[in-house]
Chain A
Amino acid sequence: MLNYLFRRLNLLLITALILSIIAFIISLWSDNALPDQDINLFMLYMDYMTNILQGQWGISLINQKSHMLNGLIAFSSTLELCLVALLTSMIIGIPLGIFAGIYRNGILDYTIMSIALIGLALPAFWLAIMLIMLPITFDLGLPIDGNISPIYDIPLITGFQLIDSLLASDLYNLAAFVDRLAHLILPSVVLSFFLTSEIIRLTRHSISLVMKSNYIKAANTKGLTVIQIVFRHVLKNALPPIIPQLRLQLNTIISIAMTVEIVFSAQGSGVWLLTSIKGGDYLALSAAVIIISGFILLSSIVIDILQIVISPTARKMLYADK
């Protein structure tokens, strides 16, 4: 176990090193002052890294705040969107995937999979633009712009506005929270279109694998109903393997979320990067590399480790691997 942890952390360090070098190159290039011959690039890199570790990531040209603060606030908003979309699509996707998996190659399966395929094929930004038209075509009163209505003045505490608006409930009761939630609906619908399709496919695959196994056949012969089989035996065995596969989708989800945010002008990392680039503030790029890829790295490792801790099969694989 310790050995495994060590190997994983080693991998993390190497990737982090490569990422930090990329961020360093971007920051060098954006400074427009490519060093002369006599300046030691290694020393510059060391300086850069000390600054990063001390939290001095430079000041934004656009709003005179620290890049780290801007980036973290923006990214937490993106993360919030991703999480809401993930949960929504899990609520929709997992049951659909289970149905498709149980009735594999039936009409229900084909219907669900066709819809899932459409969801996978639709470009997210296009779907977002279409959803913006909704209030014009139908009288749908969902907000389409921004994170939260400018009426609400939410103090910045955690950066996650859902939480912040709950904390500010003494000011606006639940109105601000509901408003933030309403602002999340349309962007997360777009995002969960893609995600739901992915979850349906994964669940279906995993369920149909389990359904073929002998213990399910045994349960069948025991005379259990389908519902009993699914809840007692199938779910427990089929769902855990989905989680690591979902992890692989993490970076896709975040990058799709960033385009969707731009369409809905939600103040997340997409809009932050776009305005920074438009404003010639390229240091934000290197901050974004550190924050976003750092998050993906860390979270994938945490998921890995958690899985080893939780799932016996994964642990077995680990030792067999050795």
Chain B
Amino acid sequence: MRFMLIFTTALILSGCYQSESSLKDSLIYCPESNAHSYNPQISHDISSLDATTHQLYNRLVKRDPTTYNYIPDLATRWVLSEDKLSYTFFLRKNVNFHQTDYFTPTRYFNADDVIFSLKRMLDQDHPFHAVNSGMNYYFFNHPFTHLITDILKIDDYTIKFILKKPDITLLDSLAAHYSVILSKEYSELLMASGTPEKIDFYPIGTGPYKFKRSNDAGITHYLNHAKFWGDKVSVNNLIFDVTKNNTKRYAKLLTGECDIIANPAPSQLKQMSKKSNILLSSEPTANILLWAFNSNKMPFNDKKIRHAFSKAVDQKNLLEAVFYQSASATNSLLNHQSWAYNRRSTDIQYEPLEALRTLQEIGYDFNSTITILTPVKNSLFNHSFHKIAELIQANLLKIGVKSDILFLTQTELEKRLISGDYDTYLTAVNGKINDPDSIFRPLLSCDSTVLEGNSSQWCSKEVQSLLNLALSESNFTTRIKNYYKLQKIIQEERVYFPIAHVLRMDAFNTNISGFLVDPFTGINFQHVKKTEAR
């Protein structure tokens, strides 16, 4: 009986429970999936980038989140040589690496670390090149790989990049997520102890937070890096708590178990925007949802057919039905914020009758069935390929075109794509760096394989030469002109039907401020602040 009394008291005591968000020095972020590793050089998915790029590491240069200009990070300034073939970078002094349970740095950051980190990707003989690289570096950063002849150390705080040919995308590549700077001293220690693979899972960087530990329940702890060279962060404990179910993520935001959640489900947005204590952040991404026509195969080798099919799909309805407010309709492969985006691109009109007429004129065989390939697994940004595919199917049926939707797993899909035996393919691609080339080249270049992105099997001399020309052009205006021309061509040819740019959404409680989301390199908690009031 007495025990019961104590127990009841304890239950009543839990009424004093205050939600976690009332603790000011701890911030909990709830992403949708686990980071694959803690190094953005080898893991390029959004979850890994969120967990690493801005939190653990620094790069030589970064982009200003508002103006998109290049600003110093670990390099204080840089100079381009007269012949445009070499860049000289001057490095920041007195920068500390993280001190953790597993590593204590004995020296400051210097040129050796830069050369070690970048050459890991570029140089096949680098001792760490093969470590953990189940993935091919080339696939993700080939602009960078082709760019550089050598990286030279002038002195401890000066390095020089020698380019193969004049190329203005070097800064873009150095500001990209994969150009983070690791510690060379740490790598030598790991190599000596025979566990080089730890470099990507027990990370050491120079960023504002240091890695503490992660567990198999998907919780990662970061600590404030006390000797950080820049502004001190105001949050001591940064915690990533992976919550896969989106209903639960939303509920956890409301209960205060999460301060910020990633990717709220589109269907929750309306309700969220009504709540006074929740704010939504949305950022345009370079992600594009598109419907590719196989231009190598009948009937889609005919431009008119491709146009007719594009007109038959009700883009606006599709967006409303699937994305609510989490995506913006588009008429171009490029993000509308991109400097190369051609503002004179014409919208694709929904004209089913016109489409039907064209098909009848050409003599399209209405008894035939076209295939729509689509992956079973939804990518992080596109919540429902199958819904979109079904809406397209319904639209096509309205004008009498029969279609089959094939949901395929990754391996089946790859097999099918390589065989070329498909009519259309519904997919999404994500730009890796903020350069139009990183979207256009995989999708349109003759050298790009279907697995690298060219799912329309597109190859034309004109497009190829424009792509190459734009890359070597250092005159910015000419470069823009080239891209405008390129966009005009692909719009006329209708190689792809661009459907939507998906927005990156995050929801957070009103007592949180100052976190930044970069569509290319992930979320940034460096300037985040948490106040007590809710």
Contact = CB atoms under 8 A, between A and B. Distances in A.
B217 interface: yes
Contact of A150 (B11, B221, B247, B255): B221
Contact of A179 (B20, B243, B247, B251): B20
Contacts of A139: 254
B251 to A, nearest CB: 5
A62 B216 contact: yes
Given A151-B28, A179-B20, A182-B14, A132 B216 contact: no
Contacts of B266: none
A245 interface: no
Interface stretch (A117-125, A140-148, A252-260): A140-148
A199 B7 CA distance: 18
A267 interface: yes
A179 to B, nearest CB: 7
Contacts of B14: 178, 181-182, 185
Nearest to A162: B10
A135 B254 contact: yes
A151 B22 CA distance: 11
A275 interface: yes
A267 B239 CA distance: 17
A132 B247 contact: yes
Contact of A136 (B13, B241, B251): B251
Interface in A52-90: 62-63, 87-88, 90
A130 to B, nearest CB: 11
A151 B20 contact: yes
A196 to B, nearest CB: 15
Given A145-B243, A178-B13, A185-B14, A275 B251 contact: no
B255 A133 contact: no
A268 to B, nearest CB: 11
B247 A267 contact: no
Nearest to A140: B255
Give the most central of B10, B18, B215, B248: most A CB within 10 Å. B248
A151 B530 CA distance: 15
Interface string B239-258: 10101000110111011110
A143 B28 CA distance: 14
A199 to B, nearest CB: 14
Interface in B40-94: none
Interface residues on A, range: 20 to 34
A91 interface: yes
Contact of B11 (A179, A181, A275): A181
* Residue from B17, B239, B256, B271 having most chain A Cβ neighbours under 10 A: B17
B257 A145 contact: yes
Contact of A151 (B4, B215, B239, B252): B239
B474 interface: no
A31 B219 CA distance: 30
B19 interface: yes
B8 A150 contact: no
B250 A136 contact: yes
Contacts of B26: 151
B16 interface: yes
Contacts of B23: 151
A149 interface: yes
B237 interface: yes
Interface string B1-34: 0001001101101101111100100101000000
Interface in B406-464: none
Contacts of B10: 181
Interface in B117-166: none
Nearest to A138: B254
Nearest to B250: A136
B13 A141 contact: no
Nearest to B219: A150
Contacts of A91: 4, 7-8
B247 A275 contact: no
Nearest to B251: A135
Given A146-B217, A151-B26, 16 more contacts: A87-B4, A136-B251, A136-B254, A142-B255, A143-B20, A143-B256, A144-B257, A145-B243, A145-B257, A150-B239, A151-B23, A151-B28, A151-B237, A175-B18, A185-B14, A275-B216
17 contacts: A91-B4, A132-B248, A135-B251, A136-B251, A139-B254, A141-B255, A144-B248, A144-B255, A145-B257, A146-B241, A146-B257, A150-B241, A174-B13, A178-B17, A181-B13, A181-B14, A275-B216
Interface of A: 62-63, 87-88, 90-91, 132-136, 139-146, 149-151, 153, 174-175, 178-179, 181-182, 185, 265, 267, 271, 275
The 7 closest A-B pairs by CB, nearest first: A182-B17, A181-B14, A135-B254, A149-B20, A151-B26, A135-B255, A135-B251
